[in-house]
Amino acid sequence: MKLSIVSPVYGASALLEELVTRIHKALIEITDDYEIILVNDNSPDNSLQIIRELAKNDNKLIGINLSRNFGQQNAINAGFDYATGDFVVTLDCDLQDEPERIIDLYKVATEYGKDIVFASRVDRQDDLLKKLGSKVFNYLMSYLTETRQDSSVANFILYRKCAVDAMLKLGDYHKYYPMMNRWIGFDTATVPIPHAQRKDNIKSSYSLKKRLRLALSTIIAFSDKPLRLLLKFGFLLVIFTFLVALYLVFHYFAHDKKVSGWLSVFLSIWFLFGIVIIVLGVLGLYLGKIFENTKNRPNYIVKEVLKLKNDS
């Protein structure tokens, strides 16, 4: 069985040599047939130079240099496209996902016949704000996309090649693998894995702003629930306005009380506003589907592939 390790690289140049060394030591216990794919997502530090130097002396290492920053999920997508292993493992480059734990995921996949094995972070080594933000993010994603998202699971995942191939067949321009690996419906398992401290003490580049942008893009790309909620809101608004109008008419005839002119105008405006929301919601459902099916841009562009010249 050949293993492919895919790691998107951004802002962790000080850890790359240790990352590669520890991956080598971990995988040699499983097989000598493996490859390490480091995808440089236009990292602002000297990560590209380090990957270039590592690739000159390591026939197991493949460096993929993207033309610009396409985001972590698209960097993973690039790694998947170049991976040739029977199993593909994704993990972050900051060593909080310890390479030595790959064997734990591999054992579960082979012994129990699982297609996807998730690493669940035990005793997560992140600050309180980041952990809270992650829980809120995953709760919103679960609710608005109607899928089960686990805040303890990140990018440390082992896939059989069949699962990777299934995800690559999905034509979505916006990639979000925590959603896609649930959607394809393959057999999964979750393994508790200790979460390590980041050694270089550099703050994660995933800021709250980036997380919110990712959440919004993913929700729009994977779900029409926001539009359906908007549609429901429009109907509720119309029903509420209609009931209030009935009450005022009843009050007028039962108690002979006049309704002030501004109130009737106010109700009319809100009634029409509800109708407009319903119409926009219906149109939005159709436009959203059309928009999803007309995207035809590549998810990433490879500028350079780095590996030994004599490596076939």
Per-residue pLDDT of 70-96, as tens digits, reads 999 999 999 999 999 999 999 999 898
What pLDDT was estimated at residue 172? Answer: 79
Highest mean pLDDT among 251-260, 283-292, 300-309: 300-309
The set of residues, in sequence order, having a beta carbon less than 8 Å from that of 45 and lying 6+ positions away, is: 11, 12, 13
Query: What integer pLDDT is reported at residue 256 of this predicted model?
Result: 65
Residue of 86, 53, 41, 66 whose CA lies nearest to 210: 41
256-272 per-position pLDDT tens digit: 666 566 666 777 777 77
| Cα(92)–Cα(99) distance, integer angstroms | 10
Please report, for residues 5, 52, 55, 198, 280, the alpha-carbon distance to residue 307 in angstroms, rounded to integers and kept in the order given.
15, 8, 5, 28, 52
DSSP state, 197? P
Q: Tell me, what's the pLDDT at 311?
A: 47
Mean pLDDT within 169-188:
87
How does pLDDT run across 31-64, given as a tens digit for each residue? 999 999 999 999 999 999 999 999 999 999 999 9
What average pLDDT does the structure give for the chain? Answer: 84
pLDDT in the model for residue 312:
42
Q: Write the CA distances from 45 to 13, 14, 64, 75, integer angstroms.
A: 7, 9, 16, 17
Contacts of 284 (CB under 8 A, 6+ apart): 227, 230
pLDDT of residue 263: 63
Residue 30 has pLDDT above 80, yes or no: yes
Percentage of the chain beyond pLDDT 90 is: 45
